[in-house]
Amino acid sequence: MAEPKLHIGRKISRIRELRGMKQEALAQLMGVSQQAISKIEQSDEVEDLALEKIAQALGVTAEGIKNFNEEAVFNIIGNNYHDNSSSVQYQCTFNPIDKLIEVYEENKKLYEQLLKSEREKVDILKNSK
């Protein structure tokens, strides 16, 4: 039986969504357009170098993206919160509060960069008159 086709773009999209990140934020982190991210997320395959950059921007590994399985994520969540009688128990390997703070700080940096960029645009427009 053939192995199911790996659709790396969908995996990137789901990881990005699970991290609470919009395409625009990922695009800014990577220095590309939102349209480029959209195209990547529609792709069956992504070059290794691009995948490494995407993984770094998402705070995961390239292997983590390749091996991402949404069903496993929901099984882990379900086992941790609903079925303590399961013979397979998964333990969270990070502090969720720390991750929230990390994401908050990263979003704050992105916002400050965006704000700085907008101020620079305003200054340019004022000076061009």
Give the model confidence (pLDDT) of 49-89 as tens digits. Answer: 999 999 999 888 888 888 887 665 555 445 555 444 444 44
Number of other residues whose CB lies within 10 A of the CB of residue 50? 17
Percent of the chain with pLDDT over 70: 75
For 39-97, the DSSP string reads HHHT-S---HHHHHHHHHHHTS-HHHHHT--HHHHHHHHHHHHT-TT-S-----SS-HH
Domains of the chain, residue spans: 1-87, 94-129
> Structure pTM?
0.54
Find the mean pLDDT for residues 8-23. 90
What was the pLDDT predicted at 35? 95
- CA 30/CA 57 separation, integer angstroms: 7
26: number of Cβ within 10 Å: 23
At residue 51, the pLDDT reads 92
pLDDT at residue 121 is higher than 50: yes
Q: Which CATH number does 1-87 carry? A: 1.10.260.40
The per-residue pLDDT of the chain, averaged, comes to: 80
Q: Is 25 exposed, middle or buried (0-12, 13-18, 19+ CB in 10 A)?
A: buried
